[in-house]
Amino acid sequence: MKVLVVGGGGREHAIVWKLSQSRLVDKIYCCPGNAGIAALAECIDVSHNDFSALLDFVKYEWIDLTIVGPEDPLSRGIVDLFEKEGRRILGPTKAAAQLESSKVFCKDLMKTYGIPSAEYKVFTSYLHAEEHIRFKGTPIVIKADGLAAGKGVFIPSTLDEAIDALRLIMKEKIFGPAGDRVVVEECLKGEEASFMAFTDGDTIVPMVSSQDHKRIFDNDEGPNTGGMGAYSPAPVLTGDLEKIAIEKIMRPTIKALRDQGIPYKGILYAGLMIDKGVPYVLEYNCRLGDPETQPVLSRLKTDFMEIAMAITDRRLGDVSIEWKKDPAVCVVLSSKGYPGNYRKGDTITGIDQANSIEGVHVFHAGTSFRDSAVVTSGGRVLGVTATGEDIASAKKKAYDAVGKIHFDGMHFRKDIADRALTR
Protein backbone atom coordinates (compact mmCIF):
# COMPACT_ATOMS: atom_id res chain seq x y z
CA MET A 1 0.00 0.00 0.00
CA LYS A 2 0.98 3.63 -0.52
CA VAL A 3 0.62 6.16 2.30
CA LEU A 4 0.81 9.95 2.33
CA VAL A 5 1.64 11.67 5.63
CA VAL A 6 0.71 15.35 5.78
CA GLY A 7 3.06 17.52 7.83
CA GLY A 8 6.75 17.98 8.50
CA GLY A 9 7.43 17.99 12.24
CA GLY A 10 8.61 15.59 14.90
CA ARG A 11 5.17 14.00 15.19
CA GLU A 12 5.12 13.28 11.46
CA HIS A 13 8.65 11.84 11.58
CA ALA A 14 7.48 9.47 14.32
CA ILE A 15 4.43 8.48 12.25
CA VAL A 16 6.55 7.86 9.16
CA TRP A 17 9.07 5.88 11.24
CA LYS A 18 6.32 3.66 12.63
CA LEU A 19 4.71 3.20 9.18
CA SER A 20 8.10 2.18 7.76
CA GLN A 21 7.95 -0.87 10.07
CA SER A 22 4.55 -1.98 8.71
CA ARG A 23 4.23 -5.15 6.66
CA LEU A 24 1.31 -3.47 4.84
CA VAL A 25 3.20 -0.41 3.58
CA ASP A 26 5.20 -0.45 0.35
CA LYS A 27 5.78 3.27 -0.20
CA ILE A 28 5.56 6.36 2.04
CA TYR A 29 5.25 9.95 0.84
CA CYS A 30 5.34 13.00 3.10
CA CYS A 31 4.56 16.63 2.43
CA PRO A 32 6.48 18.70 3.07
CA GLY A 33 8.56 16.41 5.31
CA ASN A 34 11.98 17.31 6.74
CA ALA A 35 15.61 16.15 6.62
CA GLY A 36 14.96 13.16 8.89
CA ILE A 37 11.77 12.05 7.19
CA ALA A 38 13.61 12.10 3.84
CA ALA A 39 15.54 8.99 4.92
CA LEU A 40 12.31 6.97 5.16
CA ALA A 41 9.87 8.61 2.75
CA GLU A 42 9.75 10.56 -0.48
CA CYS A 43 9.22 14.18 0.50
CA ILE A 44 6.89 16.22 -1.69
CA ASP A 45 7.32 19.99 -1.88
CA VAL A 46 3.66 20.83 -1.30
CA SER A 47 2.21 22.86 1.56
CA HIS A 48 0.04 20.90 3.98
CA ASN A 49 -2.65 23.52 3.41
CA ASP A 50 -2.68 23.23 -0.41
CA PHE A 51 -5.61 20.80 -0.49
CA SER A 52 -6.07 20.90 -4.26
CA ALA A 53 -2.46 19.92 -4.92
CA LEU A 54 -2.59 17.22 -2.24
CA LEU A 55 -5.75 15.72 -3.69
CA ASP A 56 -4.29 15.75 -7.19
CA PHE A 57 -1.18 13.98 -5.90
CA VAL A 58 -3.25 11.34 -4.09
CA LYS A 59 -5.25 10.64 -7.25
CA TYR A 60 -2.21 10.59 -9.54
CA GLU A 61 -0.15 8.28 -7.30
CA TRP A 62 -3.10 6.09 -6.27
CA ILE A 63 -2.46 6.67 -2.58
CA ASP A 64 -4.31 4.17 -0.40
CA LEU A 65 -4.37 6.23 2.81
CA THR A 66 -3.59 9.80 3.85
CA ILE A 67 -2.67 10.50 7.48
CA VAL A 68 -2.93 14.11 8.66
CA GLY A 69 -0.49 15.20 11.35
CA PRO A 70 -1.07 18.94 12.10
CA GLU A 71 -4.26 20.55 13.35
CA ASP A 72 -4.50 23.33 10.75
CA PRO A 73 -5.50 21.22 7.71
CA LEU A 74 -8.01 19.32 9.87
CA SER A 75 -9.61 22.56 11.04
CA ARG A 76 -9.81 23.78 7.43
CA GLY A 77 -11.63 20.68 6.19
CA ILE A 78 -9.10 18.46 4.43
CA VAL A 79 -10.95 15.33 5.60
CA ASP A 80 -14.27 16.63 4.24
CA LEU A 81 -12.73 17.25 0.82
CA PHE A 82 -10.93 13.91 0.60
CA GLU A 83 -13.96 11.90 1.74
CA LYS A 84 -16.16 13.75 -0.75
CA GLU A 85 -13.74 12.59 -3.45
CA GLY A 86 -13.83 9.01 -2.14
CA ARG A 87 -10.27 9.08 -0.77
CA ARG A 88 -9.35 7.29 2.45
CA ILE A 89 -8.00 9.70 5.09
CA LEU A 90 -7.35 9.45 8.83
CA GLY A 91 -8.69 12.34 10.88
CA PRO A 92 -11.88 14.12 11.98
CA THR A 93 -14.00 16.38 9.79
CA LYS A 94 -13.92 20.17 10.02
CA ALA A 95 -17.00 20.17 12.25
CA ALA A 96 -15.50 17.59 14.62
CA ALA A 97 -12.14 19.40 14.66
CA GLN A 98 -13.85 22.39 16.27
CA LEU A 99 -13.03 20.65 19.54
CA GLU A 100 -9.52 21.97 18.97
CA SER A 101 -9.99 24.87 16.57
CA SER A 102 -12.47 26.72 18.80
CA LYS A 103 -12.00 26.89 22.56
CA VAL A 104 -15.48 28.41 22.81
CA PHE A 105 -17.12 25.50 20.95
CA CYS A 106 -15.21 23.06 23.13
CA LYS A 107 -16.07 24.72 26.46
CA ASP A 108 -19.73 25.14 25.52
CA LEU A 109 -19.97 21.47 24.51
CA MET A 110 -18.44 20.30 27.78
CA LYS A 111 -20.73 22.55 29.80
CA THR A 112 -23.84 21.34 27.97
CA TYR A 113 -22.99 17.65 28.39
CA GLY A 114 -21.56 17.76 31.90
CA ILE A 115 -17.98 16.88 30.98
CA PRO A 116 -15.68 17.96 33.85
CA SER A 117 -13.75 21.15 33.08
CA ALA A 118 -12.93 24.54 34.61
CA GLU A 119 -15.53 27.29 35.02
CA TYR A 120 -15.23 29.92 32.27
CA LYS A 121 -16.56 33.01 30.52
CA VAL A 122 -16.25 34.02 26.85
CA PHE A 123 -15.46 37.59 25.77
CA THR A 124 -15.40 39.48 22.48
CA SER A 125 -14.81 42.82 24.25
CA TYR A 126 -11.37 43.65 25.61
CA LEU A 127 -12.82 45.99 28.24
CA HIS A 128 -15.28 43.41 29.53
CA ALA A 129 -12.57 40.73 29.64
CA GLU A 130 -10.22 43.05 31.53
CA GLU A 131 -12.95 43.94 34.01
CA HIS A 132 -13.66 40.24 34.63
CA ILE A 133 -9.97 39.43 35.13
CA ARG A 134 -9.56 42.27 37.65
CA PHE A 135 -12.60 40.99 39.52
CA LYS A 136 -11.49 37.32 39.57
CA GLY A 137 -7.80 37.94 40.29
CA THR A 138 -4.88 35.63 39.58
CA PRO A 139 -3.75 32.99 38.89
CA ILE A 140 -6.16 32.71 35.98
CA VAL A 141 -6.17 31.12 32.52
CA ILE A 142 -6.59 33.18 29.34
CA LYS A 143 -7.04 31.38 26.01
CA ALA A 144 -7.28 32.61 22.44
CA ASP A 145 -10.36 30.99 20.90
CA GLY A 146 -8.70 29.73 17.72
CA LEU A 147 -5.55 27.82 16.77
CA ALA A 148 -2.27 29.33 17.93
CA ALA A 149 0.32 26.55 17.39
CA GLY A 150 0.10 25.50 21.03
CA LYS A 151 1.02 28.99 22.28
CA GLY A 152 -2.41 30.57 22.73
CA VAL A 153 -2.83 29.75 26.42
CA PHE A 154 -1.54 32.08 29.15
CA ILE A 155 -1.51 31.28 32.86
CA PRO A 156 -0.47 34.59 34.46
CA SER A 157 0.30 34.67 38.18
CA THR A 158 -0.02 38.45 38.57
CA LEU A 159 -2.62 40.95 37.45
CA ASP A 160 -0.08 42.85 35.33
CA GLU A 161 0.85 39.63 33.51
CA ALA A 162 -2.84 38.85 32.94
CA ILE A 163 -3.57 42.27 31.43
CA ASP A 164 -0.45 42.00 29.24
CA ALA A 165 -1.60 38.59 27.96
CA LEU A 166 -5.08 39.89 27.20
CA ARG A 167 -3.61 42.88 25.37
CA LEU A 168 -1.36 40.64 23.25
CA ILE A 169 -4.28 38.44 22.23
CA MET A 170 -7.09 40.95 21.72
CA LYS A 171 -5.36 44.25 20.90
CA GLU A 172 -2.01 43.37 19.34
CA LYS A 173 -3.55 40.31 17.63
CA ILE A 174 -0.40 38.19 17.91
CA PHE A 175 -2.53 35.18 16.93
CA GLY A 176 -4.57 37.03 14.31
CA PRO A 177 -8.30 36.23 14.11
CA ALA A 178 -7.76 33.39 16.61
CA GLY A 179 -7.81 36.10 19.27
CA ASP A 180 -11.11 37.73 18.27
CA ARG A 181 -12.67 35.87 21.19
CA VAL A 182 -11.02 34.81 24.44
CA VAL A 183 -11.95 32.27 27.06
CA VAL A 184 -11.12 33.27 30.62
CA GLU A 185 -11.31 30.35 33.03
CA GLU A 186 -10.39 29.36 36.54
CA CYS A 187 -6.90 28.00 37.09
CA LEU A 188 -7.16 24.36 38.08
CA LYS A 189 -4.56 22.96 40.45
CA GLY A 190 -2.97 19.53 40.22
CA GLU A 191 -0.80 17.62 37.77
CA GLU A 192 -1.25 17.48 34.00
CA ALA A 193 -1.31 14.40 31.80
CA SER A 194 -1.88 13.74 28.10
CA PHE A 195 -4.49 11.10 27.35
CA MET A 196 -4.77 10.06 23.71
CA ALA A 197 -7.07 7.47 22.19
CA PHE A 198 -7.84 5.88 18.83
CA THR A 199 -11.52 5.98 17.87
CA ASP A 200 -13.67 5.07 14.88
CA GLY A 201 -16.69 6.86 16.33
CA ASP A 202 -17.91 3.75 18.15
CA THR A 203 -14.93 1.96 19.66
CA ILE A 204 -12.45 3.94 21.79
CA VAL A 205 -9.03 2.43 22.48
CA PRO A 206 -6.75 4.41 24.82
CA MET A 207 -3.06 4.80 24.12
CA VAL A 208 -0.46 4.60 26.86
CA SER A 209 -0.41 7.75 28.98
CA SER A 210 2.15 10.51 28.60
CA GLN A 211 3.05 13.89 30.05
CA ASP A 212 4.17 16.98 28.15
CA HIS A 213 6.41 19.84 29.34
CA LYS A 214 5.04 23.07 27.87
CA ARG A 215 7.21 25.80 29.37
CA ILE A 216 10.50 26.74 27.74
CA PHE A 217 12.65 26.61 30.90
CA ASP A 218 13.29 24.11 33.69
CA ASN A 219 10.88 23.97 36.64
CA ASP A 220 8.03 24.96 34.30
CA GLU A 221 9.17 28.56 34.01
CA GLY A 222 8.97 30.94 31.07
CA PRO A 223 6.45 31.17 28.22
CA ASN A 224 4.45 28.26 26.80
CA THR A 225 5.80 26.44 23.77
CA GLY A 226 4.55 23.69 21.49
CA GLY A 227 6.21 21.27 23.93
CA MET A 228 9.80 20.88 25.17
CA GLY A 229 9.68 17.18 25.95
CA ALA A 230 7.47 14.32 27.04
CA TYR A 231 7.59 10.91 28.65
CA SER A 232 5.42 7.81 28.79
CA PRO A 233 3.86 6.44 30.91
CA ALA A 234 2.71 9.24 33.21
CA PRO A 235 2.44 7.75 36.73
CA VAL A 236 -0.17 10.35 37.70
CA LEU A 237 -2.64 8.71 35.31
CA THR A 238 -3.28 5.42 37.09
CA GLY A 239 -5.29 2.55 35.66
CA ASP A 240 -8.32 3.61 37.70
CA LEU A 241 -8.03 7.19 36.46
CA GLU A 242 -7.76 5.99 32.86
CA LYS A 243 -11.07 4.16 33.28
CA ILE A 244 -12.65 7.31 34.71
CA ALA A 245 -11.25 9.39 31.83
CA ILE A 246 -12.74 6.98 29.28
CA GLU A 247 -16.17 6.78 30.91
CA LYS A 248 -16.55 10.39 32.11
CA ILE A 249 -14.66 12.26 29.39
CA MET A 250 -13.88 10.41 26.15
CA ARG A 251 -17.14 8.47 25.65
CA PRO A 252 -19.37 11.44 26.61
CA THR A 253 -17.43 13.68 24.21
CA ILE A 254 -17.85 11.33 21.26
CA LYS A 255 -21.53 10.89 22.15
CA ALA A 256 -22.04 14.67 22.53
CA LEU A 257 -20.70 15.25 19.03
CA ARG A 258 -22.78 12.39 17.63
CA ASP A 259 -25.89 13.90 19.26
CA GLN A 260 -25.16 17.09 17.32
CA GLY A 261 -24.84 15.15 14.07
CA ILE A 262 -21.04 15.22 14.08
CA PRO A 263 -19.35 11.79 13.79
CA TYR A 264 -15.78 11.64 15.08
CA LYS A 265 -13.07 9.36 13.64
CA GLY A 266 -9.33 9.49 14.20
CA ILE A 267 -7.31 10.50 17.26
CA LEU A 268 -8.86 12.18 20.27
CA TYR A 269 -6.44 13.81 22.70
CA ALA A 270 -7.55 15.14 26.07
CA GLY A 271 -5.16 17.33 28.02
CA LEU A 272 -6.11 16.53 31.61
CA MET A 273 -5.55 18.11 34.99
CA ILE A 274 -5.61 15.55 37.79
CA ASP A 275 -6.82 17.25 40.97
CA LYS A 276 -7.28 15.12 44.10
CA GLY A 277 -7.86 12.00 42.03
CA VAL A 278 -10.37 13.62 39.65
CA PRO A 279 -9.54 14.30 35.95
CA TYR A 280 -10.66 17.59 34.40
CA VAL A 281 -10.31 18.55 30.72
CA LEU A 282 -7.95 21.42 30.03
CA GLU A 283 -8.18 21.14 26.25
CA TYR A 284 -8.84 18.75 23.39
CA ASN A 285 -6.63 18.11 20.40
CA CYS A 286 -7.96 16.31 17.34
CA ARG A 287 -4.69 14.66 16.35
CA LEU A 288 -1.62 13.12 17.91
CA GLY A 289 0.25 15.40 20.28
CA ASP A 290 3.73 16.70 19.61
CA PRO A 291 6.08 15.75 21.31
CA GLU A 292 3.94 13.09 23.06
CA THR A 293 3.71 11.08 19.83
CA GLN A 294 7.44 10.39 19.86
CA PRO A 295 7.55 8.42 23.16
CA VAL A 296 4.06 6.97 22.73
CA LEU A 297 4.64 5.51 19.25
CA SER A 298 8.04 4.27 20.44
CA ARG A 299 6.06 1.97 22.75
CA LEU A 300 3.50 0.76 20.18
CA LYS A 301 3.84 -2.93 19.24
CA THR A 302 0.82 -3.22 16.91
CA ASP A 303 1.16 -2.28 13.25
CA PHE A 304 0.19 1.42 13.04
CA MET A 305 -1.06 1.02 9.49
CA GLU A 306 -3.40 -1.76 10.61
CA ILE A 307 -4.84 0.55 13.28
CA ALA A 308 -5.26 3.44 10.82
CA MET A 309 -7.06 1.27 8.29
CA ALA A 310 -9.35 -0.14 10.98
CA ILE A 311 -10.31 3.39 12.09
CA THR A 312 -11.18 4.53 8.57
CA ASP A 313 -13.16 1.30 7.99
CA ARG A 314 -14.95 1.70 11.36
CA ARG A 315 -13.79 -1.71 12.58
CA LEU A 316 -11.37 -0.65 15.31
CA GLY A 317 -12.99 -3.15 17.67
CA ASP A 318 -11.52 -5.97 15.57
CA VAL A 319 -7.91 -4.91 16.25
CA SER A 320 -5.99 -5.95 19.36
CA ILE A 321 -3.65 -3.07 20.19
CA GLU A 322 -0.54 -3.94 22.21
CA TRP A 323 2.13 -1.79 23.84
CA LYS A 324 5.69 -2.34 24.99
CA LYS A 325 6.30 -2.16 28.74
CA ASP A 326 9.51 -0.14 28.40
CA PRO A 327 9.00 3.57 29.23
CA ALA A 328 10.15 6.28 26.81
CA VAL A 329 11.47 9.83 27.23
CA CYS A 330 11.70 12.58 24.58
CA VAL A 331 13.85 15.70 25.00
CA VAL A 332 13.22 18.53 22.52
CA LEU A 333 16.13 20.61 21.24
CA SER A 334 15.07 24.10 20.17
CA SER A 335 16.59 27.02 18.28
CA LYS A 336 17.88 30.15 19.95
CA GLY A 337 15.00 32.57 20.54
CA TYR A 338 12.19 29.99 20.49
CA PRO A 339 9.23 30.36 21.20
CA GLY A 340 9.73 33.91 19.92
CA ASN A 341 11.69 34.83 16.81
CA TYR A 342 14.27 32.11 16.34
CA ARG A 343 17.36 31.51 14.26
CA LYS A 344 17.47 29.28 11.19
CA GLY A 345 20.20 27.76 9.10
CA ASP A 346 22.58 26.54 11.83
CA THR A 347 24.42 23.33 10.96
CA ILE A 348 23.55 20.31 13.13
CA THR A 349 26.16 17.72 14.02
CA GLY A 350 26.12 14.49 16.03
CA ILE A 351 22.75 13.06 15.00
CA ASP A 352 24.26 9.80 13.74
CA GLN A 353 26.25 9.37 16.95
CA ALA A 354 23.10 9.94 19.01
CA ASN A 355 21.14 7.43 16.94
CA SER A 356 23.89 4.83 17.48
CA ILE A 357 22.98 4.56 21.18
CA GLU A 358 20.80 1.49 21.76
CA GLY A 359 17.16 2.41 22.28
CA VAL A 360 17.58 5.97 20.97
CA HIS A 361 15.89 7.52 17.95
CA VAL A 362 16.30 11.17 17.00
CA PHE A 363 13.12 12.53 15.43
CA HIS A 364 13.52 15.60 13.23
CA ALA A 365 11.10 18.50 13.70
CA GLY A 366 12.50 21.71 12.22
CA THR A 367 15.30 20.56 9.92
CA SER A 368 16.20 20.85 6.26
CA PHE A 369 19.17 20.31 3.95
CA ARG A 370 21.67 22.92 2.85
CA ASP A 371 24.03 21.33 0.37
CA SER A 372 24.75 18.01 2.10
CA ALA A 373 24.42 19.32 5.67
CA VAL A 374 21.40 19.10 7.96
CA VAL A 375 20.49 22.57 9.26
CA THR A 376 17.91 24.08 11.58
CA SER A 377 14.71 25.38 9.97
CA GLY A 378 12.22 25.62 12.83
CA GLY A 379 11.76 26.56 16.46
CA ARG A 380 11.70 23.00 17.71
CA VAL A 381 14.50 21.25 15.88
CA LEU A 382 14.87 17.65 17.15
CA GLY A 383 13.11 15.28 19.54
CA VAL A 384 15.71 12.97 21.08
CA THR A 385 13.73 9.93 22.21
CA ALA A 386 14.90 6.90 24.16
CA THR A 387 13.34 3.77 25.65
CA GLY A 388 14.64 1.99 28.72
CA GLU A 389 13.71 -0.56 31.35
CA ASP A 390 12.42 2.29 33.53
CA ILE A 391 11.96 6.07 33.34
CA ALA A 392 15.38 6.73 34.90
CA SER A 393 17.28 4.64 32.35
CA ALA A 394 15.26 6.06 29.44
CA LYS A 395 15.99 9.58 30.65
CA LYS A 396 19.72 8.86 30.97
CA LYS A 397 19.87 7.45 27.44
CA ALA A 398 18.00 10.46 26.05
CA TYR A 399 20.32 12.98 27.70
CA ASP A 400 23.42 10.96 26.78
CA ALA A 401 22.20 11.21 23.18
CA VAL A 402 21.51 14.95 23.54
CA GLY A 403 25.15 15.33 24.57
CA LYS A 404 26.26 14.04 21.17
CA ILE A 405 24.33 16.72 19.23
CA HIS A 406 25.32 20.32 18.62
CA PHE A 407 24.13 23.39 16.76
CA ASP A 408 24.68 27.06 17.59
CA GLY A 409 22.13 28.36 20.06
CA MET A 410 20.82 24.88 20.94
CA HIS A 411 18.49 24.96 23.94
CA PHE A 412 16.82 22.16 25.89
CA ARG A 413 15.28 21.56 29.28
CA LYS A 414 17.29 19.46 31.70
CA ASP A 415 14.38 18.26 33.83
CA ILE A 416 12.25 16.21 31.41
CA ALA A 417 10.63 13.28 33.26
CA ASP A 418 11.81 14.45 36.68
CA ARG A 419 8.19 14.54 37.86
CA ALA A 420 7.90 10.81 37.27
CA LEU A 421 11.08 10.14 39.23
CA THR A 422 9.95 12.11 42.28
CA ARG A 423 6.55 10.49 42.70
Question: pLDDT at position 151, please?
Answer: 80
The shares of helix, strand and coil residues in the chain, as percent rounded to the nearest 5, are 35, 25, 40
Percentage with pLDDT > 90 across the chain? 95
- For residues 47, 52, 56, 57, the Cα torsion angle rounded to the nearest 10 degrees is 10
Say if CB 29 and CB 63 are below 8 A apart: yes
Q: Write out pLDDT tens, residues 407-419.
A: 999 999 999 999 8
**How far from 391 is each of 207, 235, 236, 326, CA to CA, in Å?**
18, 10, 14, 8
What is the topology classification, in CATH, of domain 125-180?
Dna Ligase; domain 1 (3.30.1490)
pLDDT at 423 exceeding the cut of 90: no
Average pLDDT over residues 178-187: 95
Q: Write out pLDDT tens, residues 86-127.
A: 999 999 999 999 999 999 999 999 999 999 999 999 999 999
Beta bridge partners of 153: 143
53 band by pLDDT with thresholds 50, 70 and 90: very high
Alpha helices by DSSP H, listed for 228-379, are 239-245, 251-259, 293-298, 304-312, 351-355
48 band by pLDDT with thresholds 50, 70 and 90: confident
Give the residue among 327, 368, 294, 287 at the shortest CA–CA distance from 17. Answer: 294
Q: Does domain 191-318 have CATH number 3.30.470.20?
A: yes
Q: Write out pLDDT tens, residues 186-199.
A: 999 999 999 999 99
Q: Write out pLDDT tens, residues 380-411.
A: 999 999 999 999 999 999 999 999 999 999 99
pLDDT at 19 exceeding the cut of 80: yes
**How far from 55 is each of 35, 61, 65, 289, CA to CA, in Å?**
24, 10, 12, 25
What is the topology classification, in CATH, of domain 328-421?
Glycinamide Ribonucleotide Synthetase; Chain A, domain 4 (3.90.600)
CATH 3.40.50.20 domain extents, the chain: 2-91
Does the predicted TM-score (pTM) go above 0.85? yes
Average pLDDT over residues 351-363: 98
**Residue 80: in which H helix or E strand, if any?**
helix 78-84
CATH 3.90.600.10 domain extents, the chain: 328-421
What is the topology classification, in CATH, of domain 2-91?
Rossmann fold (3.40.50)
Q: What angle do CA 81, 87, 91 make, to 5 degrees?
A: 65
